[in-house]
Amino acid sequence: MESLPHSRTTTAVMWAAQIVTAAILLMTSISKLTSSSEAIALFKLLGVEPWGRFALGSAELVTATMLLWPQTAGFGGLVGLGLMTGAIATHLFRIGVMYNGDASLFAMALTVLSCSAITAYLRRPRRSE
């Protein structure tokens, strides 16, 4: 299977989704890996501090990097889908949509989930026929 060219609009949407996803994942991974007090408090609440914070921060950093290269962006989109499925489930079943009176973490997870799905779909291998 080879990669077929995309229209200009599809290419723009694809890159926008990748960049938004990579930016959010980079921001959240830095927070986790630099031991911000907010990240520590959240992972203590979840009972996986510090190993869970470092593992998730590392996974987010690798995923953000994969999203910036066309050859790995599709797989990065799939990994982002998995990470954000876990994040959304954690919000829904453990910490709530509103964490400390703010829904921004949940909103970012939904944004990354959506953009990861777009990236995985648009970067999938396609057959030329």
Range of the domain at 118: 8-122
pLDDT at 77: 98
> Would you list the DSSP string of the chain?
-BPPPPPHHHHHHHHHHHHHHHHHHHHHHHHHHTT-HHHHHHHHHHT-TTHHHHHHHHHHHHHHHHHTSHHHHHHHHHHHHHHHHHHHHHIIIII-SSBTTB-HHHHHHHHHHHHHHHHHHHTS-B---
Residue 90 falls inside a structural domain: yes
Residue 3 falls inside a structural domain: no
pLDDT at 87: 98
User: Averaged over 97-119, what is the pLDDT?
Assistant: 97
pLDDT tens, position by position, 22-58: 999 999 999 999 999 999 999 999 999 999 999 999 9
- Per the structure, the count of domains in the chain is 1
pLDDT tens, position by position, 22-32: 999 999 999 99
Residue 129 falls inside a structural domain: no
Structure tokens at 19: 């960049």
pLDDT at 41: 97
Residue 128 falls inside a structural domain: no
